[in-house]
Amino acid sequence: MILAIDIGNTNIVIGGIDEKKTYFIERVSTVRTKTELEYAIDIKNVLDIYGYSVEDISGGIVCSVVPQITNIMRVAAEKILRRDIMVVKSGLKTGLNILMDFPNQLGSDLVAASVAGITHYQVPLIIFDLGTATTVCVVDDKKNYIGGMIYPGLRVSLDALTENAAQLQGVALESPGRVIGKNTIDCMKSGILNSNAAAIDGIIDRIEEELGQKATVLATGGLAKTVLPLCRREIILDEELLLKGMLTIYQKNHAAFAASAETGKGADSCG
Ligand SMILES: Nc1ncnc2c1ncn2[C@@H]1O[C@H](COP(=O)(O)OP(=O)(O)OP(=O)(O)O)[C@@H](O)[C@H]1O
Ligand SMILES: CC(C)(CO)[C@@H](O)C(=O)NCCC(=O)O
Ligand SMILES: [K+]
């Protein structure tokens, strides 16, 4: 099994995975001030809770969209696993052809999700990731990453609303059970959930129209399981999509990575 660490803007997902299965998957909060030792303790605690030791882990990979934490987490994982840890970045083999204006600016999380998409599902693909941001990845029938969308995630949208409206307070992100709200809280709950669900349905229609093809639609991220039940289109929920993508990237690059680490050419340059 390898250790896969996905650093998002809100949460860090720590998972143990191999081609057979996911052994554990846990979230800790993304805290920008934590030290290497504190993240090392997080990793150690997750392993301890599940009864795994360092010997059970054959390697590690970090995927991050928070640049100031990337290296701290890499060193933290190296402290625990006592081996070089791979970082998802441009230059690695992925099997995905990124047709963007600036391919190296594409978020590593979007790369990992798309790699998992082309590995485990039928292309073309539309992939929604409902986290801090809601992102949409579009992969065509030739496994080209052709673009997507980025818009505010549900929690970020709600926070902006309550900050700007004097009479509105925070609500839990849960369905009120009906579309037409009868009180402030239900109106807000219905509004945030149904507006996002309807957006997803509508976005799928528009992307398929622009693609000229029907696509496999996937969803992942902390909020996917809350929103998907309100969508009308068929959408496959895969909460382990990023971990699966990180495993594939690890496998495709592991030999070159080990060789470059061995010859001291720099632990994190692979090609
Ligand atoms: N059970 C929950 N109830 C309410 N909000 C939640 C819940 N779980 C996650 N969230 C919200 O979902 C968002 C985080 O989703 P996720 O765990 O996918 O985070 P992330 O991976 O850090 O996001 P990103 O990858 O976009 O940076 C946050 O806005 C968080 O407040
Ligand atoms: C859009 C987010 C924040 C989603 O996590 C992340 O993928 C990111 O910071 N991306 C960089 C910009 C881009 O992907 O075009
Ligand atoms: K940011």
pLDDT digits (tens, 9 = 90+) for 49-67: 999 999 999 999 999 999 9
* Alpha-carbon gap, residue 27 to 40, rounded angstroms: 14
Do 121-239 and 2-89+246-262 fall under one CATH topology? yes
* Alpha-carbon gap, residue 212 to 148, rounded angstroms: 15
41: helix, coil or strand?
A: helix
Q: What region, left, alpha or beta, does residue 51 occupy, with left being phi > 0 and alpha being psi -120 to 50 degrees?
A: left
Q: Report the chain (271 residues): mean pLDDT per 10 consecutive residues.
A: 98 98 97 98 98 98 98 98 97 97 98 98 98 98 98 98 97 96 98 98 98 98 97 98 98 94 59 36
| CATH number for the segment(s) 2-89+246-262 | 3.30.420.40
* Alpha-carbon gap, residue 105 to 103, rounded angstroms: 5
Instruction: Verify whether ligand 2 is closer than 6 Å to residue 104 (CB atom).
Output: no
Using an 8 Å Cβ cutoff, are 185 and 161 in contact? no
pLDDT confidence of residue 21: 96
Task: Give Dmax over CA atoms of the chain in angstroms.
Answer: 67
Which protein residue has the closest C-alpha to ligand 2 atom 3?
Answer: 133
9 belongs to an annotated ligand binding site: yes
pLDDT digits (tens, 9 = 90+) for 61-97: 999 999 999 999 999 999 999 999 999 999 999 999 9
Q: How do the domains of the chain map onto residue ranges?
A: 2-89+246-262, 121-239
Q: What are phi and psi of 61, to 5 degrees?
A: -145, 140
13 belongs to an annotated ligand binding site: yes
Ligand nearest to the CA of 131: 1
* Alpha-carbon gap, residue 147 to 66, rounded angstroms: 21
Ligand nearest to the CA of 101: 2
pLDDT confidence of residue 262: 78
Q: Which atom of ligand 2 is nearest to the CA of 110?
A: 7
Could you tell me the strand order of the sheet in which 236-237 lies? 97-98, 144-152, 133-139, 125-130, 216-220, 236-237
What is the CATH architecture of 121-239?
2-Layer Sandwich (3.30)
12 belongs to an annotated ligand binding site: yes
